[in-house]
Amino acid sequence: MFRLDGKIAIVTGGARGIGAETARVFREAGATVVTWDVAGDADARVDVTDVPAVAKAAAGVAKEHGRIDVLVNNAGTGAYKPAVRMTVPEFESIMRTNYLGAVACTLAVLPGMLGRRSGHIVNVSSPSAFSPPAGQTAYAASKAALDAFSESLLLEVRDQGMRVSIVYPGHVITPLTLEQFKGQPMPPRFVCMDAARVAAGVLEALESARFRIYLPWFVGLTPLVKSFAPEFVRRQTLRAQPLTLS
């Protein structure tokens, strides 16, 4: 098993689901893990949309442990309903958490990582970033923004000893996603997985230092196929994950 002995890691959204499982896997690999979440059962109650709170929390971790080696931007939210039934504040809320929250956490740890010429930032994205299904306009837009941010950041820091990765899990079965999909068709079983599989993918990102990790692997074929047959991919996406408007 890949080891993280002596590494200091922050995992956002770490109180449940993917975040909690990632924290568990990291600890088993020897890392010291600090979980942030708006829920009270995390190591620190941190709202990633609160920029001053994020900066203060990151400074506290760095002071206590001497540095931050790994940041996993996992905190996220979403909505599964037609755009016509959403409001601008709902779009803003999702963007603040999924995109600007990751930006705030990244900027809070980036100076220290660059100063040491060492560090790895892993952003948990979604195939919705490059193949958005119906009913996920706000969520898909936030993940697409996160992707663009990640790739631009990679170009800025990869020659300065740092690494950036994006993990694209298929549909992760959690109580939150089950609630969001209530009354709607679930995605195909072959792209569904549990939080443990995603946590393994995050660890794989650290071990391999690859920029993109697709879960399952064939999800990575979608951008390739879409480049020459976009309408085919759109039809298949809508067929696999239709949206009930009634």
Tokens of 222: 């979608």
Tell me how far apart the alpha carbons of residues 144 and 129 are, in angstroms, rounded to a whole number.
Answer: 4
80, 99, 139, 168: the catalytic one is: 139
CA atoms within 13 A on the CB side of 30: 7
* CA angle 75–7–112, rounded 5-degree value: 75
H/E run at residue 79 = none
Tokens of 164: 């950036």
Contact between residue 51 and residue 44 where contact means Cβ atoms under 8 Å apart: no
Residue 214: active-site member: no
For residue 131, what is the DSSP state? S
Q: In terms of DSSP H, where are the helices of the chain?
A: 17-28, 51-65, 88-95, 101-116, 137-157, 175-180, 195-208, 221-228, 230-240
Q: Which residues is 235 bridged to in the sheet?
A: none
Tell me how far apart the alpha carbons of residues 78 and 81 are, in angstroms, rounded to a whole number.
Answer: 10
Closest C-alpha to 124, from 41, 195, 62, 229? 195
Give me the amino acid identity at 190: F
Catalytic residues: 139
